[in-house]
Structures are given as structure tokens and as C-alpha cells.
Amino acid sequence: MSLENYNIIESTLREGEQFVGAQFTTEQKIRIADALDSFGVEYLELTSPQASPASLADLKTIAGLGLRSRVLTHIRCHKDDAMVALEAGVDGVDVVIGTSSKLRQFSHGKTIDEIIELAAEVLPWIRQQAPDIELRFSTEDSFRSEEAELLRVYLAVDKLGVVNRLGIADTVGIATPSQVSRLVGTLRRLTRADIEFHGHNDSGCAIANAFAALEAGATHIDTTVLGIGERNGITSLGGFVARMTTWDRQTTTRKYRLDQLRDIELLVADMVGVDIPFNNCVTGFSAFTHKAGIHAKAILNAPETYEALDPTDFGLTRYISIAHRLTGWNAVKARADQLGLSLTDQRIKELTLHIKALADERALSLDDVDELLHHWANGAEG
């Protein structure tokens, strides 16, 4: 069920602001919020209003824009934080507290019993202040927390009957898909709340872990544009929607304006001073470029042979690279057709051999090949 009804909690304006290159102005935050709203994400998560005076002002501004995306903020398990967040007019608050032994020792210094007591004091209080708000409770560093202790916390919180969602966080990016699946499955069986997954990408599993969470029954996935966040970030919005599109194209293309993805990535990349990585899902510069002749032949006949995603779903086009030694005559013929040149199959095959021999000697460009095509179409050879 979740695999169709999942929600994206887009955290570029919270986790993404924790990326080393991010320093968003109010105007930039509004542009990001507008773009993500238009893309169709269900939620935007913003930095805690306690972070700085501008963070509070910007939260109020964005909560007041009247977007379709619901506006959340991210706070510590404190009444003071919650009070300020509620006054800002948000649709929901994401409460977090660390449960790993490291966080308990080096961060807030609380025992598991004290965490449970604090949650039992703060969460019902928030619910009382704001009966209609979406309230989430999450543990930080869930996967390096002792499982029995972690479950004790979640069960106690669920029993309070005041939270809509329980969150799990792979704070240092070490969880595997099967670990995520197990923990989400356990929470699904033992609690009534929706389940959110927030996964860092330190060891490259963030997208796979988000998908594993959904398969096991999670309902909400945290993403950021290009995956920006602390260190090397979290599940990227683009990678996640790519994963979901290969799984269920109809649902994903219905839920989100996938053709806006590239512009959103360019917008944020520019603001934080990075390029779109060459091997980025969907928008990396070679994501829909086909090279080997044997691939090109099949692609020309039926693109899905070598494409899990259709570039046109994302407003993009495929490209067949032909100026190299791995080229094939079908691709060269397709280029001749594109250029409106008429050459027999036999001539195209001979020209292809010529291109391969030339490419063995030096790097060729598409212009070189186009020139050869024109030359050969006019009757010359070589």
C-alpha cells in the first residue's frame, strides 16, 4: 500500500541547510519552496525556528505562502522549541531525540528512562496546544541504538496516542536495506503510527534504504535536492523518484512533475555552489547517452531495451554517441537520416569501418562524423 501512497518529506530547507555549501537567503528559500511545491512534494521540512532569528522569520514566511505542500519544522524534544514552532504557523512538527549511547553520552546526557519521561511530558503537551497539527517523534541514530531500548522508547511514545508518525534515522549512513526493512517491519507490527525514514548516504545506501523502508511499510521518506545535507547528505529527491518511477511509473508520474526535476536541481546546485554529478540519476550528463554500437541498434528499435527510465518523462532526450571505435552502422545510419543524407546501407557500413579505423588513431567528435557523412553522401570516400 505504501508503495503507492508514500509521501515525500523534502528537507532541502532543513537537512539541506546543513550542507557545508548552503546559506540560503529568504528569497532563495522561497524559490526552493515554490519549486518543490510545484514539483508536488507532500511536505517541506524547514530548519528549527530556534536556530536563528532569520530561521524563525523565514519559517513564518514560508508557512504563510499558502503552498499545497504541508510545512513542517524540525525541533528538539523541548516545550520551548515547540512553542516557537507552533506560533510560526506550521502544519506539523518533527520532534527528534538521540537514543544511541554516543548521543546519550556526548550530546544530551539522558538515560532511556529520562528520554521516555521527557517524551511523555512534551508530546501530549504539544498535542494539547495544537490538536490538528501533524506530530512526529523520531530517534536520532536509530541504527546504532540498542534495539530493545529503541523499541521501549517507540512503544512508550506510540502508547501516548498523540503522535501521527514515528521516524527512524540512519544518522551516520551505516544501515543496510535488510536492517531498515527489519526495523520498519517491527514498528509496523508493534505500533499504529505512520513511519518515516531518514537515511544518510555515507556508505551509498540512502536510496536503497528508503525503498526498503517503503517495502516494509514506511509511509514517509525524507529527501533533499541532490541529496545535500550533513557530510555527503541523504536520499536525493531525484534518485528517489527515479527508483519509484522504475517501480511504478504511473503512480510516480501522476504524483510529481518529473519534468521539473532538472530545473530544481540546477536551481539548488547553483545556490550551494556545486555541479550536478556526471553520474547523477536521471540528470547526470550521460544518464541517457548510449555508446556501444550493439546498444545503439537496440535503442533505435526499442529504447526500453537499455533504458529503465524514459527520458521524456523527465523532459529530457536520449543521445546516441557515434564518434568512437565502438560505434555501429545502425547508429551511423540513424545520424545520416537525422541529417537528411541518403546513403545506401552498404556505404554506411563502409563508412562505419572507416570511422572505427580513424577513432583508433585519434579522438573524434560528432562534427568530424557529420563532416564524413556529408562528404560520403556527396560521393567522396575517406
Integer CA distances (angstroms), 298 to 245, 330, 334, in order: 22, 9, 12
Q: Which of 55, 138, 219, 283 binds ligand HCA (CB under 6 A)?
A: 138
C-alpha count within 13 angstroms, C-beta hemisphere, residue 237: 34
Indicate which of Cu ion, ligand HCA, none lies near residue 104 (CB less than 5 to 8 Å, by partner kind). Answer: none
Among residues 15 and 81, whose Cβ is nearest to Cu ion?
Answer: 15
The answer to whether 226 and 13 are in contact (CB under 8 A) is no
Among residues 175 and 287, whose Cβ is nearest to ligand HCA?
Answer: 175
Among residues 15 and 58, whose Cβ is nearest to Cu ion?
Answer: 15
Task: Say how far apart CA 92 and CA 152 lie, in whole Å.
Answer: 24
The answer to whether 42 and 48 are in contact (CB under 8 A) is no
Among residues 235 and 283, whose Cβ is nearest to ligand HCA?
Answer: 235
Indicate which of ligand HCA, Cu ion, none lies near residue 252 (CB less than 5 to 8 Å, by partner kind). Answer: none
Give the nearest distance from C-beta 97 to ligand HCA in angstroms: 9
The amino acid at residue 66 is: G
Give the nearest distance from C-beta 166 to ligand HCA in angstroms: 10
Letters for 13-52 (x = contact with Cu ion by CB under 5 A, - = none) are: --x-------------------------------------
Does the footprint of ligand HCA cover residue 265 (CB under 6 A)? Answer: no
Task: Say how far apart CA 290 and CA 287 lie, in whole Å.
Answer: 9
Task: Say how far apart CA 382 and CA 375 lie, in whole Å.
Answer: 8
| Residues contacting 233, CB < 8 A, separation 6+ | 15, 16, 19, 200, 201, 206, 224, 226, 227
Interaction residues for ligand HCA, span 51-80 (CB under 6 A): 74
Indicate which of Cu ion, ligand HCA, none lies near residue 144 (CB less than 5 to 8 Å, by partner kind). Answer: none
Integer CA distances (angstroms), 100 to 110, 117, 118, 139, 359, in order: 10, 17, 16, 9, 57
Stretch that binds ligand HCA, among 53-61, 165-173, 213-221, 267-275 (CB under 6 A): 165-173
The answer to whether 187 and 154 are in contact (CB under 8 A) is yes
Indicate which of ligand HCA, Cu ion, none lies near residue 140 (CB less than 5 to 8 Å, by partner kind). Answer: ligand HCA
Does the footprint of ligand HCA cover residue 17 (CB under 6 A)? Answer: no
Q: Is 220 a catalytic residue?
A: no
Indicate which of ligand HCA, Cu ion, none lies near residue 145 (CB less than 5 to 8 Å, by partner kind). Answer: none
Q: By CB neighbour count within 10 A (0-12 exposed, 13-18 middle, 19+ buried), where does 34 fall?
A: middle
Does the footprint of ligand HCA cover residue 194 (CB under 6 A)? Answer: no
Does the footprint of ligand HCA cover residue 228 (CB under 6 A)? Answer: no
Does the footprint of ligand HCA cover residue 12 (CB under 6 A)? Answer: no
With CB under 6 A, what is the number of residues at the site for ligand HCA? 13
Task: Say how far apart CA 63 and CA 29 lie, in whole Å.
Answer: 12
Among residues 202 and 248, whose Cβ is nearest to Cu ion?
Answer: 202
Task: Say how far apart CA 340 and CA 344 lie, in whole Å.
Answer: 13
At 343, list the grid cell. Answer: 546513403
Does the footprint of ligand HCA cover residue 81 (CB under 6 A)? Answer: no
Q: Which of 8, 75, 96, 271 binds ligand HCA (CB under 6 A)?
A: 96
At 157, list the grid cell. Answer: 511514545
User: Which residue in the list 74, 200, 295, 374 is annotated as catalytic?
Assistant: 295
Does the footprint of ligand HCA cover residue 134 (CB under 6 A)? Answer: no
Task: Say how far apart CA 278 and CA 337 lie, in whole Å.
Answer: 29
- Taking only Cα atoms into account, the Rg of the chain, rounded to an integer number of angstroms, comes to 26
Among residues 15 and 265, whose Cβ is nearest to Cu ion?
Answer: 15
Stretch that binds ligand HCA, among 164-172, 290-298, 314-322, 330-338 (CB under 6 A): 164-172
Q: Positive or negative, the Cα torsion across 352, 304, 210, 81?
A: positive
Task: Say how far apart CA 14 and CA 30 lie, in whole Å.
Answer: 13
Does the footprint of ligand HCA cover residue 169 (CB under 6 A)? Answer: yes
Give the nearest distance from C-beta 113 to ligand HCA in angstroms: 22
Contacts to ligand HCA by CB under 6 A: 15, 18, 74, 94, 96, 138, 140, 167, 169, 171, 198, 200, 230
Residues labelled as active-site residues:
295
